[in-house]
Amino acid sequence: MAKHWADFQYEIYLHGMTGTVPRLPTDLTRLERVAEQRLGPGPVGYVAGSAGTGSTAVANRAALDRRRIVPRMLRDVQERDLSVEVCGRALPAPLALAPVGVLSIMHPDAESAAARAAAAQGVPYILSSASSTPMEEVAEAMGDGERWFQLYWAKDREVTRSFLHRAKAAGYTALFVTLDTPLLAWRPRDLDQAYLPFLHGVGTANYFSDPAFQAGLAKPVHEDPNAAVRHFVGMFADPAKTWPDLAFLRENWDGPIVLKGILHPDDALRAADAGVDGVVVSNHGGRQVAGSVAAADALPRVVEASAGRLTVLFDSGIRTGDDIFKALALGAKSVLLGRPYAYGLGLDGQAGVEHVLRCLLAEFDLTLALSGHSRPATLTADDLIEESV
């Protein structure tokens, strides 16, 4: 019989016969609480925090919870295949690790540990521009693992061009362009602690190692790190960018381009007309616009507007295997996982991230089977009902 992701539960039970239990919770919704107990308030607050009162993050969860699965019986689910194709790449499951920056605040092995964990499970890793580790080092840590690069679109065109060329040379196969962060949102949890890692040169590794960035400095980074930080802050994001600027990215990137942060169907139409390959329906996990529409509520309209012209991915609120099921049933091709793997990293390094991935995919595999499905492609909106508010 073929091995399934769900077999992880029996591995846990067998270890239990020798008195060994998991180091981290298998209910991934508990990870944030454990992280707050064991890790520093600044780092945990930075990962867990949201814009304003946190209402958008709450809405993300409510939108997923409001949708309920309707299981079907007496269907052959003995053999299951969770594989999908995204951005022209064959993946073992509809899951990738979302770009999360400044991971060194959670664990000294930072992005390299998360990337190794993803590679070990065959899951794509999306490296943030704002990583604590240069993109080339993360690529080396992953070996042949599938890796995608996330771009925070800088004001300086030459820095952006350099990032794209470096990423391509390091084996990153798809470009994810985050559109929803032209400015940092009002985030009280960080503001109350005056905690912004970038001002201390954390999360700037790709910039400080970049020749185009260095060309804009009067002195090398190590001679005047404060000047390097000021230069970074001045060019990190650009609120003046508009749709025609996408042409520059296509001129400098010959692989798939995915726009992250799409919530309105008209923006999906503009993305398709611009010739990009996909979109991520996302509100940045509630970190950017307080009071925003929940990502799961936006997803069906974006899928409809895309009309098969775009690959539609989803993030913002994924915590469990049934969340993945629901997102796929609403039309997403795959999902991105963010905060839970960051907590796993902070609590147990690479092993913690692998634990999170294996738990999530085991739960999804079981949810799929117990609901009468053997592969993601058979999921549709008919497999859900929406509870009235």
The residues assigned a catalytic role are: 284
Rg (CA), the chain: 20
Reference 335, options 145, 167, 190, 126; nearest CA is 126
CA angle at residue 166 from 160 to 170, to 5 degrees? Answer: 145
Contact by Cβ (8 Å): 336, 318: yes
Q: What's the rounded Cα separation, in Å, for the pair 349 and 355?
A: 10
Q: Using CA atoms, how far apart are residues 286 and 312, in angstroms rounded to an integer? A: 19
Helix (H, G, I), strand (E, B) or coil at 386: strand
Buried b (16+ CB within 10 A) or exposed e, 119-132: bbbbbbbbbbbbbb
**DSSP 8-state class, residue 184:** -
Residue found by looking up tokens 């390097």 in the block:
228
Q: Are 44 and 35 in contact (CB under 8 A)?
A: yes
Distance, in Å, from the CA atom of 276 to the CA atom of 247, rounded to the nearest integer, reads 10
Provide the H-helix boundaries in the chain: 8-16, 31-38, 41-48, 55-66, 110-121, 135-142, 157-169, 188-191, 205-208, 211-214, 225-235, 246-252, 265-273, 295-306, 321-329, 339-370
